[in-house]
């Protein structure tokens, strides 16, 4: 395989919505079959400790593109707009001569002046170029939650010929992608990759495919749904045996797993296209999600809480420098702010000084028989929901926490200890040790480490 110094490297992000790390074959979930993701995890770097430091769409996505924590990037809560002119990794790629492309869900335009806050406005909104985070090619939507009615907008004249224009305004056009969202958006990415290879073969690129499934309403094409019967779904041990909880969890998960398998199918399409276009040896494929989904664990639903099913996300890096002969599972606490610096590092692009995250690219690009190791900080990941979300079926309090490399998790509610788990002994978080006097020393030490994160990042001192 080529050496990482042989020339410019491309990157494709595949970003899913609400896909928890536990919901894959390679992670051991017996309910789902994900051969393409399993292969990516086996051949690439599988960052098993990756977390969504702010497990809600907008705060995570703001941190994802800026490399800055939600309380510092202007997107601390749900529907907060990314401030216009905010530097992102797209700007860094543009400055390095890359072509940048964004396809799919954005959810960073928020409730800004002149847009209104109505749900219908989100679904039909067209986002002007100056609010697209620096991405040059754009086929996207703000937020929709209709996987069989996916509507995108782009600049005038850039709607695919086969798709009729629904409306026009301010030099932009809106159109509907046929079929199921994950399939249709993947087809658009493949068409763009073909155009890039044909028309700009010497220009490296950074492309983002952002799909809403497996986010609720937990549905997928019929052939995928047919493989999952609610009564056959095996629930996690931390789902309480209360009929109204278990019945809903099994029903939702049947559609959820069908949608995950459709994501996996399209990962396979992307890998096949990279092979066909001759891009495999020059392109990193990065797979991640913005947060997880509780699905009844601890009697909770959806996201926004600090439990494992909400914060743990898949983070896989496959690419041209994969020469490890053993499984590569870097033992580092990757957080949302680390993904942009790591992506720039994959391409040898300097990380902008304003980014607060860590560049872990060396762990994905160092060849050898033994997986590379990481020495030094950080030894933990900072978890923060800086403002109450007001989001349905969520935690309605601000909270902060940390999860450590040696598998402790500590979370506080505005200075009040809330959760303390030893994830080595208690991976399903069944025993909360936060108020056990026998763990006072452990709690005090973790509280001090949390305080250091709050001070280091300039977060609220009340937490």
pLDDT value, residue 463: 41
pLDDT tens digit sequence for 27-80 = 999 999 999 999 999 999 999 999 999 999 999 999 999 999 999 999 999 889
Catalytic residue, candidates 57, 101, 150, 347? 57
Tell me: pLDDT of 236 over 60.
Answer: yes
pLDDT tens digit sequence for 283-304 = 999 999 999 999 999 999 999 9
Average pLDDT over residues 432-452: 97
Tell me: pLDDT of 462 over 60.
Answer: no
Question: What sign does the dihedral 420-425-428-432 (CA atoms) show?
Answer: negative
Contact 124, 151 (CB under 8 A): yes
Is 107 among the catalytic positions? Answer: yes
**What dotted CATH number matches 10-365?**
3.40.720.10
Tell me: pLDDT of 123 over 60.
Answer: yes
Average pLDDT over residues 138-165: 95
Contact 336, 72 (CB under 8 A): no
Task: Write down the residue that tokens 């056959």 correspond to.
Answer: 232
Average pLDDT over residues 452-458: 95
Is 228 among the catalytic positions? Answer: no
C-alpha count within 13 angstroms, C-beta hemisphere, residue 118? 7
Tell me: pLDDT of 212 over 50.
Answer: yes
To 5 degrees, how large is the angle CA 191–CA 192–CA 198? Answer: 90
Contact 126, 142 (CB under 8 A): no
Average pLDDT over residues 318-337: 81
CA distance 110 to 104: 16
- Domains of the chain, by residue range, sit at 10-365, 397-456
User: Nearest CA to 92 among 354, 317, 290?
Assistant: 354
CA distance 226 to 396: 36
Q: Are strands 10-17 and 205-214 parallel, antiparallel or unpaired?
A: parallel
Tell me: pLDDT of 3 over 60.
Answer: no
Catalytic residue, candidates 71, 91, 107, 336? 107
Average pLDDT over residues 210-231: 98
54, 86, 149 from 306: Cα distances, Å? 9, 28, 32
Q: Flag the least confident range among 315-324, 334-343, 424-433.
A: 315-324
CATH topology of domain 397-456: Arylsulfatase, C-terminal domain (3.30.1120)
């Amino acid at each position: 395989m080529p050496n990482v110094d042989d020339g410019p490297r491309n990157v494709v992000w595949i970003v899913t919505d609400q896909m928890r790390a536990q919901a894959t074959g390679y992670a051991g979930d017996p309910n789902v079959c994900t051969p393409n993701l399993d292969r990516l995890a086996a051949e690439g770097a599988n960052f098993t400790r990756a977390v969504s430091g702010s497990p809600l769409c907008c705060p995570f996505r703001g941190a994802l593109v800026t490399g800055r924590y939600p309380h510092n990037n202007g997107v601390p809560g749900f529907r907060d707009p990314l401030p216009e002119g905010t530097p992102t990794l797209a700007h860094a790629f543009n400055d390095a001569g890359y072509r940048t492309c964004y396809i799919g869900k954005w959810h960073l335009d928020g409730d800004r002046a002149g847009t209104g806050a109505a749900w219908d406005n989100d679904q039909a909104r067209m986002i002007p170029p100056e609010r697209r985070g620096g991405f040059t090619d754009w086929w996207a939507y703000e937020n929709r939650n209709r996987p069989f009615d996916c509507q995108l907008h782009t600049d005038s004249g850039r709607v695919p010929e086969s798709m009729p224009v629904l409306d026009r305004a301010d030099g932009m056009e809106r159109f509907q992608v046929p079929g199921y969202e994950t399939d249709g958006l993947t087809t658009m990415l493949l068409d763009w990759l073909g155009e890039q290879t044909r028309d700009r073969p010497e220009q490296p690129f950074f492309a983002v495919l952002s799909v809403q499934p497996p986010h609720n309403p937990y549905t997928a094409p019929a052939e995928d749904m047919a493989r999952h019967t609610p009564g056959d779904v095996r629930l996690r041990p931390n789902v309480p045996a209360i009929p109204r909880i278990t019945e809903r969890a099994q029903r939702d998960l049947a559609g959820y797993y069908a949608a995950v398998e459709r994501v996996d199918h399209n990962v396979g399409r992307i890998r096949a296209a990279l092979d066909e276009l001759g891009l495999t040896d020059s392109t990193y494929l990065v797979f991640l999600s913005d947060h997880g989904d509780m699905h009844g664990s601890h009697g909770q639903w959806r996201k926004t809480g600090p439990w494992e099913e909400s914060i743990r996300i898949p983070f896989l890096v496959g690419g041209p420098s994969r020469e490890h002969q053993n499984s590569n599972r870097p033992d580092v606490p990757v957080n949302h702010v680390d993904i942009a610096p790591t992506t720039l590092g994959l391409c040898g692009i300097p990380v902008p000084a304003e980014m607060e995250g860590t560049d872990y690219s060396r762990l994905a690009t160092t060849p050898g028989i033994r997986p590379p190791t990481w020495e030094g900080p950080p030894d933990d990941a900072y978890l923060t929901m800086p403002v109450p979300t007001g989001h349905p079926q969520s935690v309605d309090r601000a909270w902060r926490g940390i999860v450590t490399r040696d598998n402790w998790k500590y979370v506080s509610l505005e200075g009040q200890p809330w959760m303390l788990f030893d994830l080595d002994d208690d991976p399903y978080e069944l025993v909360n040790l936060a108020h056990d006097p026998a763990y006072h020393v452990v709690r005090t030490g973790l509280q001090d480490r949390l305080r250091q994160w709050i001070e280091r990042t300039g977060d609220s001192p009340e937490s």
